[in-house]
A and B are shown apart, each in its own frame.
Chain A
Amino acid sequence: MTRNKLILILIFSLISCLFFQTALHAQEQQKISGLFPGISFPRFAQQVNSMTGYQFYYNQEDLADLQVNISAKDNTLTQILEALFEQTDFKFSIDTEKRVFITKHKPLDLKLAKDFFESPDPLLKTDSLTRQSDIERAFSRNKLYVIGNPGNQKEATLKGKITGIETGNPVFGAVVFERTEYRRAITNEEGYFQILLPVGRHTLFIQNLGGFIEQRQISLQGDGILDVAIEENIISLSEVTVNSDRMTNISRPEMGVQKLNIQSMKKIPAVLGEVDVIRSILTLPGVQTVGEASVGFNVRGGAADQNLILYNHSTIYNPSHLFGLFSAFNPDVVESVELYKAGIPIQYGGRLSSVLDVKAKYGNNEKIKVTGGIGLLTGRLAVDGPIGENTTFSIGARSTYSDWLLQLLEENTDFKDGRASFYDLNVSISHKLDNKNIIRANAYNSNDNFRFDRDTTFRYENLNFNIGWTHYFNERLEAEFVVGRDNYSFGIEGRDNPSNSYDFGFNIRQDFAKIHFNYDYDFRHKFNFGIQSTRYRLNPGKIQPWGLESIVAPEEVNQEQALETAFYIGDNIEISEQLTVSLGGRYALYNFLGPNTSRIYTPGLPMARTTLIREETFNAGEVIKTHHGPEFRISGRYILNNISSLKAGYNTGRQFIHLVTNNAAIAPTDIWKLSDNNILPHWGDQISLGYYRNLKVDKYEFSIETYHRNLRNLLDFRSGSTLILNNTVEQAVVRSQGRAYGAEVLLRKNTGKLNGWISYTYSRSLLKTAKDEPAEKINNGEWYPNNFDQPHNAVLVGNYEWSKRFSTSVNANYSTGRPITLPVAKFEYGGSERVFFSDRNAYRIPDYFRIDLSVNIEGNHKVRKLAHSSWSVGVYNLLGRRNPYSVYFTPVNGILEGYKLSIFAQPIPFISYNFRI
């Protein structure tokens, strides 16, 4: 135990050491490498002395019994001694003449800074992660940096860049603040900050999400620059906490933003032991799913197709494997995940409900690292690191070997021909051309292939590429230009019998180009602006006979093309210390393009074959229909006091591509449809209000957010409509309007052995057939609940660290059952007994409740060994509660009996092994 801690601390200190080196005035300490296997302290002292020239002064008697058992590699003496004395009473001091004084209880005072061994701020004391013994760190903390040339000005602008010690990468979202005047700045995506301060002495605090609070003493004389390297992520270092937004929770101008890093996701027990991006975000307030095996998620009462899922700029249309059992993101290459439920940044558009921004690693620039894992169903491997000076890369691959599980089903003859397999691949490369230009490229591919019997094979695939160029014009202006292609397709191969064999295919391809500028005009105004353009090419369905004997008629629904372009500009205005406002406007222009045939129906009558007036044929590139309109993103934050703030926001959005489904979940065979002259774009707005408060010196974080959304031109389905291979989808849908509202309460504990969060969400999501829809009034035109309307939802994620190596996590999840349409009566028709259903979604399935438990065990922390390993063992659905996924009725002995189908109906144990080299 102690030893492991010791090694941990070594690693920890190593980073501090690096940190130290990057500081302006580095105090050089000689590096020590070597194995000291169980020798006595005096002998150790001797060895060190001969290696480095350090002289040790200590009481022989006191230290005679101390055994040294350390393997050091390029560690400073300080780190080694810290580690060594960790569990003892000994203290040490090192002076400039390489003399080491070891004393008991109290270190020898070498007359350094007064607060040399103390955190300069009481707040920091409470930070369980603070290790005040980090000498170098304390040194640069307390050193006075004199910045700028003296002038007449009263205030001066301090600029700088915050980088991570470990990676050297810019740190985004770090808060630079000053406590006497409450001046504050947040670093942009490139790590730059700018803060206006009165001339004079200041203590600057720099805090990264989930990291230490770093500090610098400055004497500001005029405009100047201070670059600071901070620990980017304390979590990856000691694998301790779920992330915390800390002060940013209060001070960020946006609201409805949730950030999860991969470390916190690892703590959440996952089904089958696989760390899962989508399942992790389902633990956040306001995010729900209709069932365990469903693809996609619902944010604040929005449908699953209203989420923009981005993976390093690529739009992922189907983010899951095996119908949602796994999400399609390899956890080893994911850096962090951000979910915007409201206050979607101005550069994103095209979806009404949320943006899920999955950021993948571009690789560290230190050394090649290999990580991987083996679970019950999947194996994965990722490699990242530098190639040469300026290039880093990250490659990940994951695949299943689940066929063996299917083999177990051999007895069940129905499924013995079933096969299921998937894989995903990611490559991300970042290349620094020079200090002002960075090129980044990404490729992503995920593929699923499965069949239930010998006859029918399903497959689907995401394939994405993009390349981006980031250019820094100057310290205030930067631009990012990205071009790419996203492709999603699915297919069905039917081989039922030779005369009916067919291939069915669906495909969506989008080519995009976007340019985004960040301009820090001054400390009050930060502008974001840019242009995005996406060209869609959608093949809504195509069936072809397969084999010579097949008589299936080839059929192809007309290809659809469209061009969506948006211009946007946003300004982050700091009106005062307390009040920050973010204003954004976006103009979306959408052209539905030929070649295609557009159908014109008699206005005021249901769109049907009989009301079709005429058809018009358009040639390639001709504009069939244009939709356009503005979108607004407005939000504001008012800091009430040091620990609490109020935020409000209003935003609108438009969506031009829609998933057409009459399933409750996204099925892998659902098609997407572009807006055209008959299907209008979705429109939605959201007004939200939130209160944020940190308690017990940021130990607890509390927030409450409420929202109300209006949605227009949603699609619901006419009874019995067929959506596949339908050239006239508009004849199968009814135009509906939606309304969603709710409140989300979150209490989060970020630090300490026990950490985690508890959240409660009340949310409603309702639909109503549009007043002017003549085709069919679902439920007589009244409001009715959406398929995923689950009013009450409570989540508990708790994590207890017994030690650095051993932690337990619990995840409990409750939600109201989703609405269903129930059979209420029966009758005879066509020779069989038939059922008559209630109004749409008039009933609910039983409530959902599940507890998962997992234990994470880290391998030992010897520095020299092949791999760092960890095990994750747990049980999904610990209580074995049979949560119904769906309910259906089927006649048994002439009586219609109801059944509920549960997917994970029993406790499912899992184990997975992860390693990194």
Chain B
Amino acid sequence: MLKKIFHINMILVLLMMFSCRDPFEPDLSDIPVEVLVAEGYIEIQGESIIRLSKTVPVRSTQSSPVISGAKLSLLDSNNGRWEFVEKEEGVYSLNGNFSPSETYQLQIELIGGKVYKTENLQPIISPEIDELGFLRDQNGVEIFVSTKGDEQAQYFLWSYQEYWIFRPGVISRLIYNDGEVRFRDTDERIDLCWKNNLNPKIVLQNAARFEDNRILQRELVLIPNNSEKLTQRYSIEVMQMAISQEAFDFWEILRKNSDDIGGIFSPLPSLIRGNIYNVTDESEPVIGYISMGKSATKRIYIDISDVFPWPVFIPEYEFCGISFQDTIPPTKQALFEAFGKGDRMPARDLYASNGEIIGYFGAPTQCVDCTLRGSNVRPEFWED
């Protein structure tokens, strides 16, 4: 809403006429900045996930390396202590029930012996999500969330996970196996897959700006026209967290630093701080704001019939097709030559009028096999 005010990232039209941008590669005399980055949310009921990583130089092509082998523990003010377990590299998990009226601290101990702590965490209970809905308009499908905050919960953070079904460029029920081609079993099908987007952007909103702290139809996701997400069925699960003002500020800086930089009236970038500090050297920069509380989640499904018509365009499948000019005879040798390398797959079969098989047509594997881009295993939660 007030985005426009804060976002005075507008570029004056007139200046645009004369302005231009050029690459800029400053000499950063590469100070090896390796800063601890901690991200996560501690649930008072259920599983809490904390991820640890560190920064890399700005022009590095690597993504930030995770930090594994750290010891994470949640402490309360009465010497209670709960240890996290490292679920995968750099991902630490804790299951437990904690009191919403108690304050806690997260402690992180790295392999080198450095110890970090968060400031006191006061759990905040998020109200339920009132509505998770969608709207079809000329730009696509907008998914929005509505909720009503209260005195304690005025600042909201949403994360979400999307799953959707897509189909490959060429649909084939055939499989080449040991020199012969046969129909696929149900569990071998590769013409319908699920794809997901598990760590998309974070959406923030301050409810205090609105009457009765009511957030009405805050846009979370825009599915652009022709997106594969609505090929057949799409599902989004939204996790709503109520956070403190300080945490909100942290996320806001993060957003501003990423989104708003570079315009003529852009604010100056700000130093990112968080609520984590090195217990022996408070001046050491640490990135991350750990919040604690009870989140609210909600899931919806959108079918293609809800948004029909929805033409789909998947760039990877743009040039996909079956080579009908090459009939591969059903001999072991010919089939092996055609499909044995794995770069092509049988796509159609051809029968004579007497019902006898004459041969097969093939297509490139990347056009046929949807598992190259997703998974053909139906997610556990998925409802049809």
Residues of A within 8 A of B (CB): 293, 322-323, 325, 402, 405-406, 408-409, 412, 415, 418, 420, 450, 452, 455-456, 492, 494, 496, 499-500, 502, 504, 543, 551-553, 555, 609, 662-665, 667, 669, 717-722, 724-725, 778, 780, 787, 820-837, 839-840, 843, 846, 882, 884-890, 894-906, 908
Assess the B211–A780 pair: CB atoms within 8 A.
no
Assess the A826–B252 pair: CB atoms within 8 A.
no
Given contacts A825-B55, A846-B24, 9 further A-B contacts (CB under 8 A): A293-B264, A415-B13, A720-B250, A721-B249, A827-B56, A830-B254, A834-B258, A836-B58, A900-B23
Assess the B19–A904 pair: CB atoms within 8 A.
yes
> Contacts A499-B216, A901-B19 given: A828-B53 contact, CB under 8 Å?
yes
| Cβ–Cβ < 8 Å partners of A662 in chain B | 267-268, 270
Contact of A902 among B21, B272, B287 (CB under 8 A): B21
**B 1-38 contacts with A by CB, 8 A:** 1-2, 4-6, 8, 10-26, 28, 31, 33-35, 37
Q: How far is the CA of A697 from the CA of B13 in the complex (A)?
A: 51
**How far in angstroms is the closest Cβ of chain B from A540?**
13
Assess the B26–A553 pair: CB atoms within 8 A.
no
Contact of B16 among A409, A500, A894, A896 (CB under 8 A): A409
B251 at the interface (CB under 8 A from A): yes
Assess the B268–A418 pair: CB atoms within 8 A.
no
**How far in angstroms is the closest Cβ of chain B from A813?**
17
Residue of A nearest to B272 (CB): A836
Assess the B2–A502 pair: CB atoms within 8 A.
yes
Contact of B13 among A420, A504, A552, A900 (CB under 8 A): A420
**How far in angstroms is the closest Cβ of chain B from A403?**
10
| Cβ–Cβ < 8 Å partners of B22 in chain A | 882, 884, 899-900, 902
Assess the B261–A889 pair: CB atoms within 8 A.
yes
> Contacts A720-B250, A720-B270 given: A402-B14 contact, CB under 8 Å?
yes
Residue of A nearest to B285 (CB): A836
How many residue pairs at the A-B interface have CB separations less than 8 Å?
251
**How far in angstroms is the closest Cβ of chain A from B361?**
36
Assess the B262–A888 pair: CB atoms within 8 A.
yes
A-B CB contact pairs (8 Å), 23 listed: A325-B14, A325-B15, A406-B13, A406-B14, A409-B16, A418-B13, A455-B4, A456-B10, A502-B1, A553-B210, A662-B267, A667-B265, A825-B34, A827-B64, A828-B39, A828-B64, A829-B37, A840-B268, A846-B24, A882-B22, A885-B264, A902-B20, A905-B20
| Cβ–Cβ < 8 Å partners of A821 in chain B | 268-269
Q: How far is the CA of A840 from the CA of B270 in the complex (A)?
A: 8
Assess the A824–B4 pair: CB atoms within 8 A.
no
| Cβ–Cβ < 8 Å partners of B267 in chain A | 662-663
Residues of B within 8 A of A (CB): 1-2, 4-6, 8, 10-26, 28, 31, 33-35, 37, 39, 53-61, 63-64, 159, 199-202, 209-211, 214, 216-217, 245, 249-254, 256-258, 261-273, 283, 285, 287-288
| Cβ–Cβ < 8 Å partners of A831 in chain B | 159, 199-202
**How far in angstroms is the closest Cβ of chain A from B254?**
6
Q: How far is the CA of A664 from the CA of B159 in the complex (A)?
A: 33
> Contacts A552-B1, A719-B271 given: A886-B251 contact, CB under 8 Å?
no
> Contacts A555-B209, A720-B256, A831-B199 given: A898-B15 contact, CB under 8 Å?
no
Residue of B nearest to A893 (CB): B61
| Cβ–Cβ < 8 Å partners of B269 in chain A | 821, 823, 835, 837
Assess the A901–B262 pair: CB atoms within 8 A.
yes
| Cβ–Cβ < 8 Å partners of B4 in chain A | 455-456, 492, 494, 496
Assess the B264–A829 pair: CB atoms within 8 A.
no
Assess the A826–B64 pair: CB atoms within 8 A.
yes
Assess the B24–A903 pair: CB atoms within 8 A.
no
Assess the B257–A837 pair: CB atoms within 8 A.
yes
Assess the B271–A830 pair: CB atoms within 8 A.
no
Q: How far is the CA of A97 from the CA of B263 in the complex (A)?
A: 78
**How far in angstroms is the closest Cβ of chain A from B15?**
5
| Cβ–Cβ < 8 Å partners of B251 in chain A | 830
Q: How far is the CA of A506 from the CA of B2 in the complex (A)?
A: 15
Q: How far is the CA of A149 from the CA of B15 in the complex (A)?
A: 69
Contact of A826 among B14, B55, B256 (CB under 8 A): B55
Contact of A824 among B8, B57, B199, B253 (CB under 8 A): B57
> Contacts A492-B4, A494-B4, A902-B19 given: A828-B63 contact, CB under 8 Å?
yes
Assess the B33–A824 pair: CB atoms within 8 A.
yes
Assess the A903–B19 pair: CB atoms within 8 A.
yes
Assess the A494–B56 pair: CB atoms within 8 A.
no
**How far in angstroms is the closest Cβ of chain B from A416?**
10
**How far in angstroms is the closest Cβ of chain B from A848?**
14
Assess the A420–B14 pair: CB atoms within 8 A.
yes
**How far in angstroms is the closest Cβ of chain A from B62?**
10
| Cβ–Cβ < 8 Å partners of A828 in chain B | 37, 39, 53, 63-64
Q: How far is the CA of A832 from the CA of B251 in the complex (A)?
A: 12
Assess the A886–B216 pair: CB atoms within 8 A.
no
Contact of A830 among B16, B201, B261, B273 (CB under 8 A): B201
| Cβ–Cβ < 8 Å partners of A886 in chain B | 262-264, 266
Q: How far is the CA of A452 from the CA of B199 in the complex (A)?
A: 33
Assess the B261–A888 pair: CB atoms within 8 A.
yes
Assess the B266–A824 pair: CB atoms within 8 A.
no
**How far in angstroms is the closest Cβ of chain B from A723?**
9
> Contacts A821-B269, A890-B262 given: A834-B21 contact, CB under 8 Å?
no
**How far in angstroms is the closest Cβ of chain A from B20?**
4
Residue of B nearest to A836 (CB): B55
Contact of A663 among B25, B199, B265, B271 (CB under 8 A): B265
Assess the B59–A896 pair: CB atoms within 8 A.
yes
Contact of B12 among A293, A833, A895 (CB under 8 A): A293
> Contacts A669-B265, A830-B201, A831-B200 given: A405-B14 contact, CB under 8 Å?
yes
Q: How far is the CA of A905 from the CA of B263 in the complex (A)?
A: 16
Assess the B253–A719 pair: CB atoms within 8 A.
yes
Residue of A nearest to B264 (CB): A293
Assess the A323–B12 pair: CB atoms within 8 A.
yes
Q: How far is the CA of A409 from the CA of B16 in the complex (A)?
A: 10
Assess the A722–B262 pair: CB atoms within 8 A.
no
Q: How far is the CA of A114 from the CA of B16 in the complex (A)?
A: 68
> Contacts A415-B13, A889-B262 given: A827-B37 contact, CB under 8 Å?
yes
**How far in angstroms is the closest Cβ of chain B from A775?**
11
Q: How far is the CA of A466 from the CA of B24 in the complex (A)?
A: 50
Q: How far is the CA of A293 from the CA of B19 in the complex (A)?
A: 11
Assess the A899–B23 pair: CB atoms within 8 A.
yes
Q: How far is the CA of A888 from the CA of B11 in the complex (A)?
A: 14
Assess the A900–B21 pair: CB atoms within 8 A.
yes
Q: Which of A408, A829, A889 has the most chain B CB atoms closer than 10 A to its own CB?
A: A829
Residue of A nearest to B39 (CB): A829
Assess the A824–B58 pair: CB atoms within 8 A.
yes
Q: How far is the CA of A724 from the CA of B252 in the complex (A)?
A: 14
Assess the B24–A836 pair: CB atoms within 8 A.
no
**How far in angstroms is the closest Cβ of chain B from A33?**
50
| Cβ–Cβ < 8 Å partners of A543 in chain B | 2
